[in-house]
Amino acid sequence: MVWTAAAGDGPDVVVLVHGSMDRSAGLLKLSRRLDDRFRVVRYDRRGYGRSTPHDGPFGMPDQVDDLRRVILEAEPERCVVVGHSYGGNVALALADHHPDLVDAVVTYESPLSWLPWWGGSAGSSAMEARDDPAAAAERFMRSLIGDERWERLPSGTRAARRAEGAPMLGELADLRAAPPWRPDRVTVPVLVLFGEHGRPHHRRGAEHLADMLPDARLEMVPEAKHFGPNTHPDDVAQRVLRFIDASG
């Protein structure tokens, strides 16, 4: 089982899915900007935050099954899944394998790690240290937030992040091995977001993703980087709400 939290009322549900080496708290600001209109459900994916310890496995089929259970427990009349980074792939895989459970998907800078041109430095750096999960987790975090910010984190926080190396390596290896979803099977509307100041491969990935999917639209979040849902929650929420209204 995974830890979940919900806010807001109503029959329509928005589920927020966090990325690698993150937790649902990273999407709390976005949740607070959506829960006046929707019942917003956040959850810590297996192996992260309050869903630890977890013995795995950490591949995409198990991630999708967790998300499926979260949605079924919420019993929504209408469900939109918003996924940040790796979480976007979980949302798209759910739309592929369980299209009856989701009405629309929003992704924010989701990695396309199985493509030969993908150049994600955080994931590549982590996989180089795959024999030492704790060291791999630290490499991943240093690549994402920088050495200076990593060193400023409290020792307990650094230890907690290093303890999440196993789930991170499991999901990253699985994502590199094969596509987790087929574009032609993702038939729900999809909003593909990316940050104006994100890394070039994330922008290219968002553009490629929007081109691949049958019913997708692409939007840039001004001034944002990879953690736009946390740093620019108002802009992201506005785009999500417009998309939901247009897809309704």
| Chain segment 121-177, per-residue pLDDT in tens | 677 778 888 899 999 999 999 988 899 999 999 999 999 999 999 999 999 999 999
125 vs 129: CA distance, rounded Å:
7
Query: What's the CA gap between 133 and 167, in Å, rounded?
Result: 9
pLDDT of residue 104: 98
User: Looking at residues 6-11, what average pLDDT do you find?
Assistant: 94
Q: What is the dihedral of CA 209, 69, 98, 207, to 10 degrees?
A: -10
Nearest CA-CA partner of 5 in 82, 73, 53, 58: 73
* In the predicted structure, residue 184 carries a pLDDT above the cut 90: yes
Fold of the 4-115+181-247 domain: Rossmann fold (3.40.50)
pLDDT at 73: 96
**With contact defined as beta carbons under 8 Å apart, do 106 and 94 qualify?**
no
Per-residue model confidence (pLDDT) at position 171: 95
What confidence score (pLDDT) does residue 233 get?
98
Q: What is the mean pLDDT of residues 20-26?
A: 96
Mean model confidence pLDDT for the chain: 95
Whether the CB-CB separation of 46 and 64 falls below 8 Å is answered with no
Which residues have a Cβ under 8 Å from the Cβ of 153 and sit 6 or more positions away?
A: 161
H/E/C letters for each residue in the chain? Answer: CCCEEEECCCCEEEEEECCCCCCHHHHHHHHHCCCCCCEEEEECCCCCHHHCCCCCCCCHHHHHHHHHHHHHHHCCCEEEEEEECHHHHHHHHHHHHCHHHCCEEEEECCCCCCCCCCCCHHHHHHHHCCCCHHHHHHHHHHHHHCHHHHHHCCHHHHHHHHCCHHHHHHHHHHHHHCCCCCHHHCCCCEEEEEECCCCHHHHHHHHHHHHHCCCEEEEEECCCCCCHHHHCHHHHHHHHHHHHHHHC
Give the per-residue pLDDT at 120: 65
Map out the domains of the chain as residue ranges.
4-115+181-247
The sign of the dihedral angle between the CA atoms of 6, 19, 182, 1 is negative
Q: Are 60 and 35 in contact (CB under 8 A)?
A: no
Model confidence band, residue 115 (pLDDT cutoffs 50, 70, 90): very high
| pLDDT (0 to 100) of residue 155 | 96
Per-residue model confidence as pLDDT tens digits over 188-247: 999 999 999 999 999 999 999 999 999 999 999 999 999 999 999 999 999 999 999 999
The pTM assigned to this predicted structure is 0.96
* Residues 54-85 pLDDT 10s: 999 999 999 999 999 999 999 999 999 999 99
